[in-house]
Structure 1
């Protein structure tokens, strides 16, 4: 029976799936068939269905938070279906800090490790002790240590070796009792000896000023990854564009701001059908309605082509795009 996907993903393109199942108890996974095409979903804030999906959409809606105090840290175990921002604020209420830079990131706890969510100088990987998951092939529950998750910038094993083979059921975080604020990014630099709550409030204020509320104006948050380029490639770029925001990324590389590249290429407010590069934050695409997956693909390729022509940098979309059967990637070959 067809089920509307429009209310299940925050970009809200009009689409349907063949079957829809909500998981409220992880044990349900052991009786679920994974033979036909399937797509795992949390709150749909980082997933866009480009057209009707010829398979089963499985929404993780499990709940539960458990906190164990240890000598030097708190072990926080949260079910995959828990809302991420609500976990951040709940822990701050319990005087457990560490996640404040990641406040207001939409989505669920289970989606956080897949994408290795990050913001304002903090990535979730630094707090993860272990990830529990359901192994589809063996039909049993397993666990991975932080190291086994192969975390990198917006990357994890769940996007590669375990893609379509694992359903994250619970994430175990360790949050040190000794708190060190991370104030290296943007508006956080102005804070002087802040409390965790003050950092959280500043992050919320900043995100609200830049990013549209997906429940008021359909969007999927930051659409493109910040490109990572070699130091050698950065030198001529800075000579031509001295204002380009850039941050060291490991040895020999820098991360540059995708939103700045898009904005400076004159694309803010650019529109195809009802899809628009957001007026306040060029990293966000918004959907005003009456748009199709093809309109979105046209927008993505136009942005990628424009940025490549101007800066010789290939932009990759961060948002997961689902076509009729599979996840798909829209990319351009970088010129020599």
Structure 2
């Protein structure tokens, strides 16, 4: 366990925003976390649960306690001819888990390759990419309540998963700390390749294999997304908006080339937010030290020493222009802290 005061979080958020926390606590086991909660170090003060810092934007210092998981380990808890269930520590780097699953011949996580962040954040955000959401492979989630350190286990159905949504962002927000996530992975192929250009990229690599699907996802993401070491960013800043089929048909009349993905038996349609932003002329543009990435308009970047407020100002300008042009309200995917 490590406890530090007035601690800089600049190296712990992928936007690279310079912000301090009143107190920073790094723990490496559920027992350590339990002792922290029971010692009243987090009672009646703001608490921020920090994972990989890949979905955070600080607009001010954090006047409270940051809890940062260092719980590691991948353990098989059930194994048969068809599938395997694994228990994974919340502090495990997400892509390390994906690589481990592919190396072991387990199917289900490959489309989620090189998404930044840690395992503990995956169910909170219900991360997703290329037609797959993490809810498709989660079995249950384990952790502690902040009020009394009592233990919980929440099943997949109880997690109330939706598009980039879960119970951990609604009724349990700020109430619990996730310590372990259980995943149920297949031992037989069941690829999902019909999203975007994924199948074309896989075909370039040869046969449709677990390794080639992972590599195809990596190739596509790396061709579009900036390296946080070069330009601070949090990946997709906005969610892809989901609209009614009627609204989509109206938009399609005005914009025949609009890309889309039909959901839920043709009743809802997902529109790429990056396309909307690019159509409004923001791709590659900047305001001060905050900019829109020149390859992927869905990604806002720190071009130098941007403040969180500069990035928020840019986001608000984009939101206004998209709404005025398409009557679609963009929703932020990042968690803004201190706003």
Same fold (TM > 0.5): yes
The one-character-per-residue Cα deviations of 1:96-136 (angstroms, maximum 9, x if unpaired) are 12211000000001000000000000000010111001112
> Could you state the TM-score of these two structures normalised by the residue count of structure 2?
0.93
How far residue 187 of structure 1 moved from its aligned partner, in angstroms, is 2.1
The 5-angstrom pairing of residues 109-148 of structure 1 reads 109-148=119-158
Q: 2:287 aligns with which of 266, 272, 275?
A: 272
2:32 aligned with 1:28: yes
Does the Cα contact within 8 Å between 1:60 and 1:81 map onto a contact in 2? yes
Q: 1:194 aligns with which of 190, 197, 208?
A: 208
The count of aligned residue pairs is: 324
| Mapped pair 1:59 → 2:59 | no
**5+ long unaligned stretches in structure 1:** 329-336
Residue 189 (structure 1) shift: 2.4
In 2, distance between residues paired with 1:85 and 1:316?
26
Contact 2:72/2:88 (8 A) holds in 1: yes
Aligned 1:68-87 pairs, distance under 5 A: 68-87=78-97
Q: After the TM superposition, which residues 7-46 of structure 1 pair with which residues of structure 2 at under 5 Å, given as runs?
A: 7-32=11-36, 33-35=41-43, 36-46=45-55
2:105–2:187: 8 Å Cα contact kept in structure 1?
no
User: In structure 2, what is the Cα distance between the partners aligned to 1:273 and 1:53?
Assistant: 24
User: Bigger CA drift: 104-113 or 32-41?
Assistant: 32-41
Root mean square deviation of aligned Cα: 1.2
Tell me how far apart the structure 2 counterparts of residues 119 and 173 of structure 1 sit (CA, whole Å). 17
Unpaired runs of 5+ residues, structure 2, are none
Distance in 1 (CA, whole Å) between partners of 2:106 and 2:229 is 28
Shift of 1:215: 2.3
**Structure 1 residue 138 displacement after superposition:** 3.3
Provide the rounded CA distance (Å) in 1 between the counterparts of 2:259 and 2:97: 31
Residue 318 of structure 1: aligned partner = 333
Is the Cα contact below 8 Å between 2:126 and 2:163 reproduced in 1? yes
TM-score (norm 1): 0.94
Distance 1:28 1:242 in 2: 56
Please name the residue that 1:220 is paired with.
234
Q: CA deviation at 1:290?
A: 2.4
Partners in 2 of 1:120 and 1:182 — Cα distance? 8
Distance in 2 of aligned mates of 1:197 and 1:187: 17
**Residues 1:6 and 2:10 are matched in the alignment:** yes
| Partner residue in 2 for 1:253 | 268
Residue 199 (structure 1) shift? 0.5
Rounded Cα–Cα distance in structure 1 between residues aligned with 2:94 and 2:71: 13
- For the residues of structure 2 that align with 1:66 and 1:139, how far apart are their CA atoms? 23
Q: Give the secondary structure class of the aligned counterpart of 1:2.
A: strand
